[in-house]
Structure 1
Amino acid sequence: MNKIFTKAIFAFLLLCITGLVAQAQNVTISGSVSDKATKEPIPGVGITVKGTTIATATNMSGKYTLTVKQAAPFTIVISYVGYASIEKEVTGNASNLDFEIETATVLGQEVVISASRTPERILESPVSVERMGPAVLKELSAPSFYDALTNMKGVEISAQSLTFKSINTRGFNSNGNTRFNQLVDGMDNQAPGLNFSVGNIIGISDLDLDNVELLPGASSALYGAGGISGTMLMTSKSPFDYQGASFSYKSGINHVNDNNTGNQQYNQLDVRLAKAWNNKFAVKATFSFLQAKDWQADNYSNFDRNGRAFKAGDRASDPAYDGINVYGDESSQNMRSIVQQSIEPTIRAGILAASGGAFNPKTVLDNLPAGTSYPAYLNFINANVPAPLRPAVSGQYLPFYFGLKNQTILPNQEVTRTGYNENALVDYNTQSLKTSGSLHYRFTPTIEGIAQINWGTGTSVYTGSDRYSLRNFSIGQYKLELKGQDFFVRGYTTQERSGDSYISSILGAFINEASKTSQTWYPQYISTYIGAKLTTPGITDAQAHAAARNVADQGRFVPGTPQFEAAKDKIVNSTIASGTGAKFDDKTNLYHYEGMYNFSNALNNVVELQVGGSYRIYQLRSGGTIFDDLTDKIDINEYGAFAQIAKKMFDDKFKLALSGRYDKSSNFDGRFTPRVSGVLTVAPDNNIRVSYQTGYRNPTTQNQYIDLSVAGGLQRLIGGIPSMLEKYHMLTTDIPYTDVSYRAFLGSVAAGAPNPALLKQYNFDPRGVRPESVQAYEVGYKGLLGSRFLIDAYAYYNTYKNFITAVDVFQQNDDNSFSKFGVPVNATGKVTSYGGALGLDYLIGGYNLSGNVSYNKLGDLPTDYINDFNTPEIRYNLGLGNKEIIKNFGFNVNYRWQDKFYWNSSFASGDVPSFNTIDAQVNLKIPSVKSMVKLGGSNILNKYYFTSYGNPSIGALYYIGFTFNP
């Protein structure tokens, strides 16, 4: 298959080049663009052939060259954000075609590509799109462009740590968001073993970022599987257009008024080098390094993970305490159950063996009525048990048995082991190092070959079904691309390496086991508890539990001690597959090939026509630490093709576009996703858009093949495809039981009357988990009122089918114990959501006032779907800025507020309170040395908040930065 596809790629490439060379009618123009007032050259100015997609941009020296494959005359448009556009008729080849442009208060002139995969003004986009261009990026109030994304209309962020943030739009937010795509220079930014983007850890540095385009909602018709909640495209600066050396250094502090750590330093260095020769060959290299202390997750609320509900109490008051950010306390046993099922049979067998099988204390003691006093039990022992066995019966067996018979002594109580706070287990020494390099060669003025490397490594913390300490993990992306004015062909690979990453809950549980096994710890706890109740008059239950935990915890490894550190080091350096460690061993790879051709110019723009295709291979290689690949390699193949045709009608007042894409994955049926959109111009620069889109998402690689122990080893996550279900015989011989019925059965066991009839089977769909899909309807308006007031509004309605959720089931083992499994499944019925947003921008006297408000609401839900909409109904942003309030001095302030909402995830669930925060910066430009000094901060009022339940609270980050040649 790979050889066939490679040949097809080369054939397609040859066709593209041949088609381009065959067009003999070329017109070439060149020149420069400068600021009329300052006479300084302006990089990034767009030069577009009016009415076509033919375009280029000025380089760092303000110069441009454009080759047009059509006969003159034609008109070119010179446009740049913040400047008045110029139109110029071209009658033939021309050099030194120079332009001076004037600043102007004009909005909505940005050109976007993502909405239709072809250049168009953002005012004319057929779907909602948000954009950050070079002018905006320089003036951001946030520490980085990635942090500033949340100021965009309809965008929200889930922050798991300082450097790990997940982007989302239109609901169903999650920590690792598999419903949102990120593309960096055309490459899918996901970690292939996780199936979601790890923030911007291997993305683009701020210094090298040219622009960001973000599409809220479904986009499968153009971009394939995924992106069911949104797609973001990040484009780096071309070394032809942005040359020279640039660097930026930022230093600051965070953790202000943080009782966990006190003030901590934050440092970041970015460097960029680019050089071009004769507009033919160019090279670029970037380097970025960030070092800081991460935010600490310190939510110690008591949580019932089975019922996903809060409990009252803490470790001192609740023997079954399970803290959200405490690990190792997931191990739980019922005091009565463990005596009945484990302790009593073990001790009885020992006494039987000691007596040579001649004496069974259970046959004697079972005849005594419940409620008999303890002295009466002792008298009975002296009268009925042989003297040599009395110490064993009294000391080892009788207290447990007495507790069972006298239930006021041995309560129906769950007990958990003493866990460790997250800060004792997780590495908070955050680092992020990312580097990139590229070689560019222009075969012709419009055909360019690119070889590119993006590589990043770092230490961070991620929240999934657990809290994962990502230490020294790395991801590399390596791309070859040939692109022209009307086509591109690219192939790239993403190589994921887990480094020293590990699961915190397994680490906590295994440290507990290393200090004292649970087989020893629980009997010590229970015997001490019973002994305290029997021998200490007037002792309370809480005092007895405290005494029991104190005895059972004797010898427990204390954080910071040599014993603790030695155990921790051994566990984090042993893989999960070994059965004794918490470390991942992930070396998963992704290979992706795609191409596209735009026939619009070849068809003289009578219609716009694009076709493209892609082929992708996932190679799952985790050594059995994530996937079911300990002995077998797992490959997943996906391929797809799309076409889009668009036509302007009614004197160019209305544009209709039809798109469709077909995709097929190894484990799932093929899927067709259409899109229909229309844009109606109701007045110059005022457009109404309507669209119907479909999107879908394949179950992730983990949804398909995960086989991982989590929650301190108490639960196993497995894939939902038929082969994984049958690995554990869940479709045939060992059908598991529902979570609700299992908990009802436990209640009967604890009451001393086990009732297996309470157990109800969970019957999985024999097809296994399947792709989820969405039908998305949107209507919007974007328009300029005058030249200073821009309005952008939209409303949407989404209907989801086969929504991927998860269930907990319990499978009975041969010894009548139960194993807990988490399995992805599709919800029956439909899930609906709806909402809208309004954005306003107003320019007045050099000031830019902006604001947006978003509304998202969950509609219908099937009964078997666990609500994880995880999105506030209302959130809004307000901004005020001025690039030059006085000469060379500017500022920007952003205020953000969002409503409270309930967060539901496999890790933890709870209320996320409403919060508001302010980001601000002031900057001084120093034109004489091409530099800028910026003083700023995020959350400058230092009001700690969290974006998703179970994740750390975020305080202020104050910084000062110096940038040369931005």
Structure 2
Amino acid sequence: MKMYLLFLSLFFCSLSFAQNSISGTVTDSDAQSVIGANIKIVGESAGTVTDGEGKFTLTSSSQLPYVIEISSVGFISTKVTITTKNQKVNVTLKDEANLLNEIVVSASRTPERVLESPVTIERMGVADIKKSASATFYDGLENLKEVQMNTSSLSFKSINTRGFATVANTRFMQLVDGMDNSSPLLNFVLGNMIGVSEIDVQSVELLPGASSALYGANAFNGILFMNSKSPFTSPGITAYAKFGQTSQKAAGSNDYVDYGIRMAHAFSSKLAAKANFTYMRGTDWYATNYDDKTVAGRDRSHVNYDGINVYGDEVTTNIKGVAAGLLGAGAITQAQYAAFNNILPNYNVSRTGYNETDLTDNKASNTKIDFSVHYRPFGSENLEVIWQSKFGYGNAVYQGANRYYLNNFFMQQHKLEIKGKNFFVRGYTTTEDGGNSYDMLFTGININRVWKDDKTWFGQYAATYAGATLNGATPENAHIAARNVADTGRLLPGSAGFKSAFSQVTNEASVLSGSKLVDNSKIYHSDANYNFKDLIKFAEIQVGGSYREYQLNSHGRIYTDKDGPIYYNEYGVYTQLTKKFIDDRLKFTGSMRYDKAQNFDGNVSPRVSLVYSGGESRRHNFRASFQTGFRNPSTQDQYIGFNVGSAILLGSAPDNLTRYSEVLPVSTVTGQAFAGGSSVTINGLNAYNNSYTASSVAAFSASGNPALLRKTNIDYVKPEQVKAFELGYRSFISGFSVDVNGYYNIYNDFIGNLNVVAPLYGTTQDAPSATPGTDPGFQSVHALSTSNFRAFQLYTNTKVEIESLGFGLGLSRKVYKDFEVGVNYNFAEFKYDQAKDPSFEAGFNTPKHKVKASFGNEKLFKNFGFNVSGRYSSAYLWQSTMVDGIIDAATVIDAQINYELPKLKSTLKLGASNIGGKEYAQVLGAGLIGQQYFASWTINP
């Protein structure tokens, strides 16, 4: 009842405040409209921005007179005193390149100039989006300092800053209007699939590095804020349409379409609403990397080939062991078995797989719909109630341990937020549906099995090989003959039989016969913040907190939730104090946050920073900060129980280890005697407590020496921690905008994966006995030798300390009239003693050197502008659960020209990405990125 009365009071309160509404136009020295200029009441958070014609309207309840400040990057800010209601303000801003005076909120949860930010921050505004040479504003984020984009699909790109990320970047957070839009099931952001339309973007702010002190556990390596336009300050109808082509050697040239519309209206000073619709469709980059996953130089001619973008060839067996199976099934006599056993080679053979291009239509698409209703009971920003709903739908390829086609994937978010001058309270829910998504690896495996089961295929292979050898064939020719016979009648892509098997497999969830990904997971989240600056004067003090509950529901397909959803919660509280000294030149900020997750002890994250503004005009800004960050193990790290073919991905929550179990057959008579039956039941406890490290098993397999085996000895996964030190300098010197930063991070308990092999019988121990007998150690060796084992990939922490460090330099200025040049360089590396933990992969996945540059002029002549951007990244090692290897160095150049049509309130743009044409990779296993051309028409209100 109290809550009901609270909402009634918010919506129907009869109090009223005197309102004044000012409006005006902001232009530059050439009388051109300044788009996206900030208009802010000095001393308050209330403000607005100029529209596509440089116009603005600002409604306020502030008592007259008051002062507004008008600012925009590249111009000298100016202040105007407002003395009357409905005052008209027409301002001409003077050029001054990149003063970094833009207002940001994300760094300290309070408005402040970029120059005074206590940590490194990058920003993209409306004007930056307009001049971007990339196909979308989200693609354009790659030109910001420190950003490393990982492209898994044309419609799915993930942002990485300061290393340690694959496509599944669980160490990076992305907030859209305050909502974390990561996947409830996967715990990482799916690019901009449920993000924001580029014509609704107000600003994008990027914080590279740890931000746990204010934003919690997942803001470990960086956080991105995407803020949309308010219908109160940006009303009207805006629309855009883009048409073009993508070009790639493997895929050819294909059409690309992207269009959207934004409708916003302020019905009064109290009520406004907006709606957005966007649609993108294109052909994905074909993934055609046919290198072997594990052995360099191995090609399709090898009998145990396992191609990176080939699926089904993961099914492999020791061909010598097939004879025992044939004997046991009564398919051959004892005499034939003796002959076969002498002829068949003692190594593995794999089934013939299908290319990725055979298992997907390679269509990428994304539909986004969102709407919001905004209510201001008092007609001002002092109190606003917002209901917002967002829907994202589409197709993309996600790469994790395998490649997954997200087919008709659907995600939605709903938020209720109450915010005022000094506070906000919000709650939202995120829900997703896997649609018709499927795992490409199991699609290939089970299409093969629909046609012919593994036992029959390998039996035919072995029998043919033996027969060909007895008839005098060389081993090479005997293998060719064996594969030809075993593959006789194989389902060919495009045939009716293949299509039928494909449909059958992709509609079945069990990995024993299907590949469908089932997901109906949810997140419930709430957070709040209050700033005491109007109540406490000696310093600015904020307090806040958040609570989140996960409801994991993959119906047993990905998590161990076949008997019902898994519930998991976490919460946090924080406070921050900001105080200025020495005539407001020195700003101190101190933060502290406490977080508690259901399965782990609480964690405290402090942050302290100093910013000093030197010089007569306070343009020389020096900053230093220290903070600790942490990352709770993700829901995958704790609750996954996912069969990826080569191994079981197994989370280490204690209840998860017993909830996961499976019955496996024992293939040999001796093994059955050791195991006490023809099958055994194993669970996650076997993986952690009775297994060998996969690296030692590989050494044993190569040498046959059991003394090389090492028992797995690891703890259950726990939170990882970072100590982050950062120094920086921002200024404007002799026409140059300068930004320098350096960081040094120390990671402890870094979360990673460890591959282990659990024998189905026997007891694991270091250097077990090689002497045949009933000794439990020897039994485990026997199990390994006869393929009676289960491979697992476990989530754990390395005990070895990891260090990373980096340096960045950014310069920009106007070089002649309105020509602008920008260049930035980033250096990044990490230190890790691999010898101390040889099985652990850090997965830094970041080039040591990155160089980015831009050159453009938005006023080359009347209504015409252009921009060219380029970036270079050095070669680097890529490590992931799917495949490891080298990403080659790449140089990419994008360009665009644009033309304004003022009478039509329109902008025409022609753009091209990667105009050099050399295809390059950002994710090993994903398609090479080719060229993209587009023409766009944007209509502004």
* TM-score normalized with structure 2 length: 0.90
**Alignment correspondent of 1:947:** 922
Structure 1 unmatched runs, 5+: 305-309, 351-391
Residue 681 of structure 1 aligns with an amino acid whose one-letter code is: S
| Counterpart selection for 1:480 from 410, 416, 420 | 416
CA change 1:25–1:452 in 2 (3 A) is: closer
| 1:852 partner SS | strand
| Counterpart selection for 1:778 from 702, 726, 739 | 726
Could you report, residue by residue, the CA deviation over 1:312-337 in whole angstroms, capped at 9, with x for unpaired residues?
A: 33222x10010000000001111223
| Counterpart selection for 2:712 from 762, 778, 787 | 762
Looking at structure 1, the residues matched to 417 and 467 of structure 2 have their Cα atoms a distance apart, in angstroms, of 74
| Counterpart selection for 1:588 from 505, 508, 521 | 521
**Cα shift at 1:303:** 2.2
CA change 1:493–1:834 in 2 (3 A) is: same
Could you report, residue by residue, the CA deviation over 1:599-646 in whole angstroms, capped at 9, with x for unpaired residues?
A: 113334x31111111111111111111111110321111111111110
Looking at structure 1, the residues matched to 562 and 5 of structure 2 have their Cα atoms a distance apart, in angstroms, of 36
Could you report, residue by residue, the CA deviation over 1:822-875 in whole angstroms, capped at 9, with x for unpaired residues?
A: 111111121110011101111131011001011000113463231311110001
**Alignment correspondent of 2:341:** 404
Looking at structure 2, the residues matched to 40 and 151 of structure 1 have their Cα atoms a distance apart, in angstroms, of 26
| Contact preservation (8 Å) 1:584, 1:625 | yes
**Cα shift at 1:51:** 5.0
Residue 265 of structure 2 aligns with an amino acid whose one-letter code is: K
Looking at structure 2, the residues matched to 132 and 14 of structure 1 have their Cα atoms a distance apart, in angstroms, of 38
1:194 has 2:203 as partner = no
1:910 has 2:885 as partner = yes
Looking at structure 2, the residues matched to 777 and 469 of structure 1 have their Cα atoms a distance apart, in angstroms, of 40
**Cα shift at 1:745:** 4.8
**Alignment correspondent of 2:395:** 459
**Equivalent residue runs for 1:451-600 within 5 Å:** 451-536=387-472, 539-576=473-510, 579-600=512-533
Could you report, residue by residue, the CA deviation over 1:182-218 in whole angstroms, capped at 9, with x for unpaired residues?
A: 0001000101101001011111111111110000000
Could you report, residue by residue, the CA deviation over 1:696-747 in whole angstroms, capped at 9, with x for unpaired residues?
A: 111111111111111xx34211112222234454447962222133334545
| Contact preservation (8 Å) 2:719, 2:751 | yes
**Alignment correspondent of 1:378:** none
Looking at structure 2, the residues matched to 346 and 519 of structure 1 have their Cα atoms a distance apart, in angstroms, of 10
| 1:542 partner SS | helix
**Alignment correspondent of 2:657:** 725
| Counterpart selection for 2:694 from 739, 747, 753 | 739
| 2:210 partner SS | coil
Looking at structure 2, the residues matched to 889 and 237 of structure 1 have their Cα atoms a distance apart, in angstroms, of 26
CA change 1:916–1:58 in 2 (3 A) is: closer
Q: State the identity as a percent.
A: 40
**Alignment correspondent of 2:678:** none
Q: Max radius of gyration: which structure?
A: 1
Looking at structure 2, the residues matched to 10 and 330 of structure 1 have their Cα atoms a distance apart, in angstroms, of 62
**Equivalent residue runs for 1:59-74 within 5 Å:** 62-67=55-60
User: Which has the larger displacement, 330-339 or 221-230?
Assistant: 330-339
**Equivalent residue runs for 1:40-439 within 5 Å:** 44-51=36-43, 53-57=45-49, 62-67=55-60, 75-89=67-81, 94-107=85-98, 108-256=100-248, 258=249, 260-304=250-294, 310-316=295-301, 318-340=302-324, 342-347=325-330, 393=333, 397-405=334-342, 409-439=343-373
| 1:206 partner SS | coil
Looking at structure 2, the residues matched to 938 and 326 of structure 1 have their Cα atoms a distance apart, in angstroms, of 29
Looking at structure 2, the residues matched to 277 and 42 of structure 1 have their Cα atoms a distance apart, in angstroms, of 26
| 1:323 partner SS | coil
Residue 634 of structure 1 aligns with an amino acid whose one-letter code is: I
Looking at structure 2, the residues matched to 67 and 601 of structure 1 have their Cα atoms a distance apart, in angstroms, of 17
**Alignment correspondent of 1:361:** none
**Alignment correspondent of 1:833:** 804
Looking at structure 2, the residues matched to 99 and 628 of structure 1 have their Cα atoms a distance apart, in angstroms, of 63
**Alignment correspondent of 1:381:** none
Residue 965 of structure 1 aligns with an amino acid whose one-letter code is: N
**Alignment correspondent of 2:679:** none
**Alignment correspondent of 1:380:** none
CA change 1:726–1:762 in 2 (3 A) is: farther
**Cα shift at 1:78:** 2.0
| 2:822 partner SS | strand
Could you report, residue by residue, the CA deviation over 1:210-246 in whole angstroms, capped at 9, with x for unpaired residues?
A: 1100000000111111121110000111111222111
**Cα shift at 1:39:** 7.0
Could you report, residue by residue, the CA deviation over 1:29-72 in whole angstroms, capped at 9, with x for unpaired residues?
A: 63323327687876644333445545444567834335366x77
Looking at structure 2, the residues matched to 484 and 118 of structure 1 have their Cα atoms a distance apart, in angstroms, of 13
| Contact preservation (8 Å) 2:36, 2:125 | no
Looking at structure 2, the residues matched to 930 and 806 of structure 1 have their Cα atoms a distance apart, in angstroms, of 54
CA change 1:160–1:41 in 2 (3 A) is: closer
| Contact preservation (8 Å) 2:36, 2:127 | no
Looking at structure 2, the residues matched to 86 and 26 of structure 1 have their Cα atoms a distance apart, in angstroms, of 26
| 1:160 partner SS | strand
**Alignment correspondent of 1:895:** 870
**Alignment correspondent of 2:569:** 637
**Alignment correspondent of 2:667:** none
**Alignment correspondent of 2:904:** 929
1:880 has 2:855 as partner = yes
Looking at structure 2, the residues matched to 46 and 119 of structure 1 have their Cα atoms a distance apart, in angstroms, of 12
| Contact preservation (8 Å) 1:43, 1:242 | no
**Cα shift at 1:17:** 12
User: Paired residues, what number?
Assistant: 884
Residue 349 of structure 2 aligns with an amino acid whose one-letter code is: V
1:662 has 2:599 as partner = no
Looking at structure 2, the residues matched to 114 and 41 of structure 1 have their Cα atoms a distance apart, in angstroms, of 28
| 1:435 partner SS | strand
CA change 1:431–1:73 in 2 (3 A) is: closer
Residue 303 of structure 2 aligns with an amino acid whose one-letter code is: P
| Contact preservation (8 Å) 1:84, 1:101 | no
Residue 601 of structure 1 aligns with an amino acid whose one-letter code is: D
| Contact preservation (8 Å) 1:297, 1:422 | yes
Looking at structure 1, the residues matched to 699 and 340 of structure 2 have their Cα atoms a distance apart, in angstroms, of 23
Residue 295 of structure 1 aligns with an amino acid whose one-letter code is: W
Could you report, residue by residue, the CA deviation over 1:453-494 in whole angstroms, capped at 9, with x for unpaired residues?
A: 110100111100000010001100111111112111111111
| 1:136 partner SS | helix
Could you report, residue by residue, the CA deviation over 1:920-957 in whole angstroms, capped at 9, with x for unpaired residues?
A: 00011100110011111100121100012111101000
**Equivalent residue runs for 1:778-797 within 5 Å:** 778-786=726-734, 788-797=735-744
| 2:504 partner SS | helix
**Alignment correspondent of 1:800:** 747
| Contact preservation (8 Å) 1:888, 1:926 | yes
* TM-score normalized with structure 1 length: 0.88
| Contact preservation (8 Å) 1:60, 1:241 | no
CA change 1:49–1:502 in 2 (3 A) is: same
Structure 2 unmatched runs, 5+: 662-682, 763-782
| 1:928 partner SS | helix
Looking at structure 1, the residues matched to 26 and 298 of structure 2 have their Cα atoms a distance apart, in angstroms, of 68
| 1:851 partner SS | strand
Looking at structure 1, the residues matched to 20 and 319 of structure 2 have their Cα atoms a distance apart, in angstroms, of 85
CA change 1:82–1:277 in 2 (3 A) is: farther
Residue 473 of structure 1 aligns with an amino acid whose one-letter code is: F
Looking at structure 1, the residues matched to 655 and 319 of structure 2 have their Cα atoms a distance apart, in angstroms, of 38
**Alignment correspondent of 2:605:** 673
